[in-house]
Structure 1
Amino acid sequence: MLKFDHVSKVYKGGKKAVNDLNLEFNKGEFIVFIGPSGCGKTTTMKMINRLIEPSEGTIYINNEDIMKKDPVKLRREIGYVIQQIGLFPHMTIQENISLVLKLLKWPEEKRKARAKELLSLVDMTPDYLDRYPHELSGGQQQRIGVLRALAADQPLILMDEPFGALDPITRDSLQDEFKKLQKKLGKTIVFVTHDMDEALKLADKIVILRGGQLVQCGTPDEILREPANEFVEEFIGKERLVQAKPNITTVEQIMNPRPITIMSGQSLTEAITLMKQHRVDSLLVVDENHVLEGYIDVETIDQNRKKARLVGDVILPDTFAVEKNALVRDTIRQILKKGMKYVPVTDENNRLVGIVTRTSLVDIVYDSIWGDEAAAE
Structure 2
Amino acid sequence: MTRPTDTPGAAPELQRALARAARLDGANQPVTPAEPVTETDNATLYRYGHGDRPPLLIIYSLVNRPAILDLSSQRSVVRRLVDGGLCVYLLAWHPPGAARRYLRLADYILGDIAEAVAWIGNAHDQSPHLLGVCQGGVLALCHAALQPCRSLTTLATPVDTGTDGDQLAALARAIDFDALVQATGNPSGQGMAAVFASLKPFALGPQRYGGLTALADADAAAVEAFMRMERWMYDGPDLAGQAFAEFARAIYQDNALVEGGLMLDGQPVRLDRIGCPVFNALAEDDHLVPPAAAAALERHVTGRCTTTTLPGGHLGLFISAEAHRRLYPALLDWLQTL
TM-score, reference length from structure 1: 0.23
Please state which structure has a larger fraction of its residues in strand: 1
TM-score, reference length from structure 2: 0.25
Please state which structure has a larger fraction of its residues in helix: 2
Larger relative contact order, structure 1 or 2 (CA cutoff 8 Å, min sep 6): 2
